[in-house]
Amino acid sequence: MHSGLSLTLLSVAILTVPIPAQPVPETFTLTVPDGLISSQSGSSVSLLCQVSPIFNIKPFEVQWYRSDDVNKPTLLYMDHKIQEALMDPRFRGRVSLTGGLERGNASLRLERVTLEDSGEFVCYIASNKWYEKAHVVLAVSGDSKGFTVTQVLLVVLPVFLVIIICALCFIVFKRKGFKCSSLHTSRKHTGAENTVQMSTKQTASDEEDNLKDWLLGKRFRAEHITMDKETASTAISVTHHGKRVNYIKAKDTVDHQSYHVLGNKGFDSGQHYWKVKVNEYANKEKLAWYLGVTRENAKCPLT
């Protein structure tokens, strides 16, 4: 009973005795990870560096530098503080010691990693009696190896739209093709009224039958063309809803000049026909009428 109590007292005494600070060893080693430390551009990374045995390295000098740039440390800790002014400006504001120097942890925390940060870093720790250094290699890769769905859509959608728009434009322009088919009249002699009539009614004449035979078996489309008043020369009158065209001797008309009127319809493909009836009048003044097609860009009225 008595010995048990003294044992309890002893154990309490041991627990309350303050743990003495670890003595600073004469020498130490550094532990760093083997192999590459990989990181993605834009993220943060820790380059681990730990002293062994564990002891407080706050009074020591801790330096991180790139092995290819010894003169400008990435991070310099000296006289109990980080010496910003002596550090490489490329790392300023991006580096810190986060592991706890009092626990012998000299790990470097690097924020907003860039591709240029890749390379070999040296962890260097020195007391006035001893120093040690170790190498850590950092490999930074681009921030996105594959394309995200959004990126793909952003590239593919505009291309797709452009293709569709081009296709539509192509179709529309092809449709328009040649727009103004024209009835083109050329007046060779001065004379009385003369009429060109766009025939829509079937008249049982021999010519009509011949035409029918000729058209038989051919994929010609019968067209009902009307004349566009707006395109008529001053010596041309357009009546009967564009179905009839007369030559009128206007005051300002000049002899040996051509007068024109354009049709309302145009085609861009296929074979078409339309019938034109030329009426000669009583005085038999001979006029020549020319029929033809123009390109869509023909000036209306023609001059």
Phi-psi region of 128 (alpha: psi -120 to 50; beta: other; left: phi over 0): alpha
Minimal CB distance residue for ligand NAG: 99
Question: Closer CB to ligand NAG, residue 103 or residue 229?
Answer: 103
Query: Least distance (Å) from ligand NAG to the CB of residue 50?
Result: 5
CB of 97 to ligand NAG, least distance (A): 9
Complete DSSP assignment for 197-209:
EE--S----HHHH
Instruction: Return d(Cα 299, Cα 258) in angstroms, integer.
Output: 14
User: Quick one: 29 or 210, whose CB is closer to ligand NAG?
Assistant: 29
User: At closest approach, how far in Å is the CB of 25 from ligand NAG?
Assistant: 17
C-beta of 108: minimal distance to ligand NAG in Å? 9
Q: Minimum distance between the CB of residue 136 and ligand NAG, rounded to whole angstroms? A: 12
Nearer to ligand NAG, 48 or 215 (CB): 48
Q: Which one, 57 or 232, has the nearer CB to ligand NAG? A: 57
Q: What would you report as the CA-atom Rg of the chain, rounded to the nearest whole angstrom?
A: 50
Give the integer Cα–Cα distance in Å for 233 and 229: 9
Q: How far is the CB of 103 from ligand NAG (least distance, A)?
A: 6
CB of 43 or CB of 279, closer to ligand NAG: 43
Of 42 and 99, which CB lies nearer to ligand NAG in the complex structure? 99
Give me the residues that bind ligand NAG (CB under 6 A), please: 46, 48, 50, 98-99, 105, 107
Nearer to ligand NAG, 50 or 182 (CB): 50
Measured from the CB of residue 75, what is the shortest distance to ligand NAG in angstroms? 13
Q: Which two tokens stand for residue 171?
A: 């179709």
Task: State the minimum distance, in angstroms, from the CB of residue 53 to ligand NAG.
Answer: 12
Which residue from 194, 300, 185, 177 is spatially nearest to 247, judged by alpha carbons? 194
Q: Which is nearer to ligand NAG, 104 or 266 (CB)?
A: 104
